[in-house]
A = this chain, B = another copy of it.
């Protein structure tokens, strides 16, 4: 799949802050806006790009180059009439697109998952598709946003100044090459904008929509837009798989920290490896076992729970996510957990002298690791996920329980509760796994 990015315009409204830079070279959380467009599309498996440049095009070409350092191939098309509307830019790239392609704006950033799905639509020869956002609070600057009226999966009206609308244009199109024929006609009669072209599709009922569904997107026309995009982008870092303590509390703080760390030379992997050292520091505080150290230790446990999100957030923000990072992160988490549990147990023993804590602590760390071990092992053996409907006891909850046990000086009770909840979950999973594997077998027999 190829993508066409139009980046010729001069971005008048951004000029007060660009200081002579191309608008899409403005930074947005550690990356230039255009880099977010390219890397976002790359994550949606697009590897070939044509960028139409005009105003300060040399600057843009110099910065992006042939795309090699992004792992993609970039070709440039020059639009000397960049001061005219953007339909002309699209038309200039005609010769590069003989098949369906993705059309993107250099100033519209987005969540790759939308683009991934958008390009899977089966378009008919004369159709185009537009990703729209039906949440009318998703745009900051209503006046400058292209609005869309959607009825039954088709766009019935589009434009910045239409009166009734129920969605916003997110700037992501999936096009058939038919768009060039349409633009040839419209530009020949002086209607030079992409919206003019799209209106031809609209009139024939050929502009389909794809619902962006609360995924991140932002149009960056002004400095205010960029700040708004920053906020939305940080908020989008919360994962649907996050536990509720993480969603409600941890992510708010970790994304705040990420916002600053993203501008440092620290990479996500370095952060992953720093955290266990913070845990060792926590161990020595917890090992004292008495107030006020218990209070500090508890805060440190919660802090370790919070910073656990940062490496993932940074790698998603910078499109640096690797399978290695995804693998190493939970392993290092287990180290951190073990260090915390060891510190708590040692501190408890230090004060009470009760050596019953020793086997208990060993079962806490066993229970802790089993949570993810059982799931991963199940995937490795059966190829499917082990889905159970029992109480959530993710890492955010587990560490909160340990922090609460520490702060209230009830470490033994916290450990026992930890083990009981985990064991309940283990039994639950034994049963769920049995049902899933038996279903697999019987469905395989039926296939035969």
Contact = CB atoms under 8 A, between A and B. Distances in A.
A211 B332 CA distance: 46
Interface in A351-383: 355, 357-359, 361-363, 365-366, 369-370, 372-382
A341 B363 CA distance: 10
A366 B369 contact: yes
B328 A342 contact: no
Contacts of A166: none
Please tell me how many copies of the chain the complex holds: 2
A327 B378 contact: yes
A346 interface: yes
A385 to B, nearest CB: 9
Given A372-B377, A380-B380, A346 B359 contact: yes
Query: Interface residues of A toward B: which range?
Result: 35 or more
B365 A323 contact: no
A335 B376 CA distance: 17
A440 interface: yes
A327 B366 contact: no
A334 interface: yes
Interface string A416-448: 000000000010001001100110110001001
A72 to B, nearest CB: 9
A326 interface: yes
A331 B370 contact: yes
B342 A358 contact: yes
Given A328-B430, A349-B355, A434-B324, A362 B341 contact: yes
A327 B436 CA distance: 12
A373 B375 CA distance: 10
A394 interface: no
Given A323-B440, A430-B328, A437-B322, A362 B338 contact: yes
B361 A358 contact: yes
Contact of A324 (B338, B346, B426, B437): B437
A153 interface: no
Given A355-B346, A358-B349, A331 B374 contact: yes
B381 A334 contact: no
B365 A346 contact: no
Contacts of A341: 362
A71 interface: yes
Contacts of A346: 355, 358-359
Contact of A327 (B355, B359, B381): B381
A366 B448 CA distance: 43
Contacts of A434: 324
A65 interface: no
Contacts of A358: 342, 345-346, 349, 357-358, 361
A99 to B, nearest CB: 15
A330 interface: yes
B366 A335 contact: yes
Contacts of A377: 327, 330-331, 372, 376, 380
Contact of A362 (B330, B365, B380): B365
Contacts of A382: 323, 327
A47 interface: yes
A359 B283 CA distance: 10
A372 B372 CA distance: 12
A249 B46 CA distance: 55
Contacts of A433: 324, 327-328
Contacts of A322: 437, 441
A446 to B, nearest CB: 11
Contact of A380 (B338, B355, B376): B376
A302 B426 CA distance: 27
A134 to B, nearest CB: 33
B437 A323 contact: yes
A34 to B, nearest CB: 21
A338 B363 contact: yes
Contacts of A374: 327, 331
